[in-house]
Amino acid sequence: MRFDTTMLASKRHVALSVLLPFLVATLSLPVQLGRSQFGVAWAQEEKPALGIIPLARRGDVGVLAVARIEEYLRAMLEAGGSVRILPAKVIDSGRAPGGGATVQREKPVTAASKALDKADTLAMTSRTMLEEGENAEDALKLLNAAADRYEANFAELVDFTKLVDVYAMAAAASLQLSKEKEAKNWVQKALTVQPTFVVDARKSNKNLQSLVSSTLQNLSSQPKTALTVEASQPESEVFVDGVRIGLAPASVKDLLPGTHFVQVRRPGALPWGETALAKGKPLAIKANLAMEPDQQSEIELAVQPEDVKAFAQTGKFHEKVFRNTAFLFTKQVRAQFLLYGVVAKTARDLELHMFLFSAKQKRIVQLDKVTFALSLNDLQMKMLDAEGRVRAAVASWPADRELKDLPDAYGRQLDAAEAPEIVPTPPQELTTPEPEKPVTRPRVEPVRPRVEPIAPRVEPKRTLEDGSDPYAGLLQDEEPAHKAVYKTWWFWTAVGVVAACVAAGVYFGTRSTPQADGFRASAVMP
């Protein structure tokens, strides 16, 4: 049998072209779902953290102008997305951020939380066994184990409905095994924790329903108990049997006889819980909360924020003490980069000089300066250039731009030892000045311009020797006494009439008269 390899290869190519996008989309689906759910946290972990040190000023630069430049620089770097900008309070405190709304701290795994998870598993297994009609004895053992774990670790239990369900299933299993007394104890525990507990008639027998009704009636007839709970820490919340009753000190009345579970919670405090046995007499409980240790407050700062900020004023980034100080500070605030800057004023504009420190390289480089107009009307556009310079330096470290001397923006600093010596001027001998002689200055007559006399205007003679006026006829149109014939109007009128007559004669003379052939006209007179 012969196969066409060309056609087979073509079919394989088509199949791969169709299936490949589907496979890529399928494999990337979990990644996309993870990024959609935890996209913010992932992005923050992947981006390097950048701390912005407050900008310094050189020359006659206004405080408001520097504040605007720093505000726009921070906003533009955050919008650029190449780095994660640390909050200003982190730089001011010198401590690492403790997380925010987008970064959630994982709940610590404790022995109590593990026991509660085990209790959930036991309860689910027991429920399945009872629904499928398996051995009730084994299911009851699992329910006893689940109830013990819930009761022993209730301080961290949030949903007390789980405990009530275990009590109800244990009562049903006890009734199946004809253990009525044990079933009554389970029902009493469930009603003590949740007096509104009812039995679903579709899943339970009538014996359990009647047992719940009689037990509730018996408990309601006994004296109720009042409970007051206080706490050692302010703003602590009080919970009784999983129900919040208010901030401590808080009180609750009409508790049914039996064991109740009291919890006190407060942010930053360790879980606290205590059982209260209600017998009809008032009870008072005080919760002594233990606060969780704040690791950040226990760590003594190796570098104070003021020590790091001081280099922005001096510009001594090339010294070894700066590199060590900045490196330790980046470890404290958990940053990969520190951005320094100074705003200087010239005669025509403002200049922003930026210096980027890398904790990995343990070096600092100088970026290209950004020039602004004195009015800062080009602030937004020029800040795009500043953000681009920082982004490029973070992506590809410019080792050739490392600072090895005092930057030009800071100029040469004069210490007290380098100040020029001031030499006092020697005193001069005091002599009595001679009286000045009066100076006689010659009187200078003012130079007056010479004015030439204006000659009187001579009017031209209006008459000739014979008495005639030579200007006659210049101001009015006078017709001459003898005018040529061709300049008269009637001459040209006659010429026009003659021309018209000649043209009409030529037209009618040359026009041919049509001949009538084969026609005869006759007239009959009456």
Which helix (H) or strand (E) segment holds residue 413: the answer is none
Q: Could you tell me if residue 511 is inside a domain? A: no
pLDDT tens, residue by residue, 271-305: 899 999 999 899 999 999 888 765 444 456 778 89
Q: Could you tell me if residue 69 is inside a domain? A: yes
HEC per residue, 151-208: HHCHHHCCCCHHHHHHHHHHHHHHHHCCCHHHHHHHHHHHHHHCCCCCCCCCCCCHHH
Domain boundary among 249, 267, 293: 293
Q: Give me the pLDDT at residue 470, please.
A: 53
Cβ burial 469-492 (10 Å sphere, 16+ → b, else e): eeeeeeeeeeeeeeeeeeeeeeee
The SS3 of residue 399 is helix
* Residue 160 shares a structural domain with residue 83: no
Give me the number of domains the chain comprises.
3
User: Averaging pLDDT over each range in 105-114, 197-206, 354-363, 435-444, which range is the top one?
Assistant: 354-363
* Residue 264 shares a structural domain with residue 334: no
The CATH number for 173's domain is 1.25.40
The CATH number for 335's domain is 3.40.50.10610
Determine contact, residues 324/362, Cβ cutoff 8 Å. Answer: no
Evaluate if residue 12 carries a pLDDT over 50: no
The SS3 of residue 411 is coil
* Residue 326 shares a structural domain with residue 379: yes
Q: Give me the pLDDT at residue 286, please.
A: 92
Choose among 358, 366, 354, 367: nearest CA to 323: 358
User: Averaging pLDDT over each range in 25-39, 174-188, 299-313, 411-425, which range is the top one?
Assistant: 174-188
Mean pLDDT of the chain: 77
Q: Give me the pLDDT at residue 484, please.
A: 63
Q: Give me the pLDDT at residue 1, please.
A: 40
* Residue 196 shares a structural domain with residue 229: no
* Residue 331 shares a structural domain with residue 288: no
Residue scoring higher pLDDT (453 or 121): 121
Q: Give me the pLDDT at residue 53, please.
A: 94
Q: Could you tell me if residue 124 is inside a domain? A: yes
Q: Could you tell me if residue 305 is inside a domain? A: yes
Domain boundary among 221, 238, 272: 221
Cβ-based neighbour number of residue 380 at 10 Å = 11
Q: Which two tokens stand for residue 237?
A: 């919340």
Distances (CA, A) of 323 to 195, 311, 330, 338, 471: 68, 11, 11, 11, 107
Q: Could you tell me if residue 431 is inside a domain? A: no
Residue scoring higher pLDDT (473 or 390): 390
Q: Give me the pLDDT at residue 519, please.
A: 46
pLDDT tens, residue by residue, 53-107: 999 988 888 887 888 899 889 999 998 888 999 998 899 888 887 643 333 445 6
The CATH number for 253's domain is 2.60.40.10
Long-range contacts made by residues 483-490, C-beta under 8 angstroms, separation at least 24?
none
Q: Give me the pLDDT at residue 367, please.
A: 94
d(CA 136, CA 128): 11
Residue scoring higher pLDDT (375 or 101): 375
Q: Give me the pLDDT at residue 430, please.
A: 47
Q: How confident is the model at residue 241 (pLDDT cuts 50, 70, 90)?
A: very high
Residue scoring higher pLDDT (86 or 438): 86
Determine contact, residues 174/148, Cβ cutoff 8 Å. Answer: no
Determine contact, residues 168/160, Cβ cutoff 8 Å. Answer: no
Evaluate if residue 405 carries a pLDDT over 80: yes
* Residue 232 shares a structural domain with residue 205: no
d(CA 336, CA 246): 45
pLDDT tens, residue by residue, 151-181: 999 999 999 999 999 999 999 899 889 899 9
Q: Give me the pLDDT at residue 26, please.
A: 42
* Residue 186 shares a structural domain with residue 235: no
Q: Give me the pLDDT at residue 499, please.
A: 84
* Residue 343 shares a structural domain with residue 396: yes
Domain boundary among 247, 275, 293: 293
d(CA 49, CA 358): 11
* Residue 174 shares a structural domain with residue 267: no
Q: Give me the pLDDT at residue 136, please.
A: 87
Residue 84, domain extent: 46-95+301-401
* Residue 311 shares a structural domain with residue 372: yes
Q: Could you tell me if residue 327 is inside a domain? A: yes
* Residue 203 shares a structural domain with residue 256: no
Q: Give me the pLDDT at residue 451, please.
A: 52
d(CA 343, CA 386): 13
Distances (CA, A) of 378 to 70, 264, 369, 371, 447: 14, 58, 15, 9, 61
Q: Could you tell me if residue 350 is inside a domain? A: yes
Q: Could you tell me if residue 445 is inside a domain? A: no
Q: How confident is the model at residue 235 (pLDDT cuts 50, 70, 90)?
A: confident
- What values do phi and psi take at 97, rounded to 5? -65, 140
Residue scoring higher pLDDT (244 or 18): 244
Cβ-based neighbour number of residue 408 at 10 Å = 12
**Alpha helix stretches (DSSP H) within 51-179:** 63-80, 88-93, 111-131, 136-152, 161-176
* Residue 323 shares a structural domain with residue 351: yes
Lowest mean pLDDT among 187-196, 346-355, 406-415: 406-415
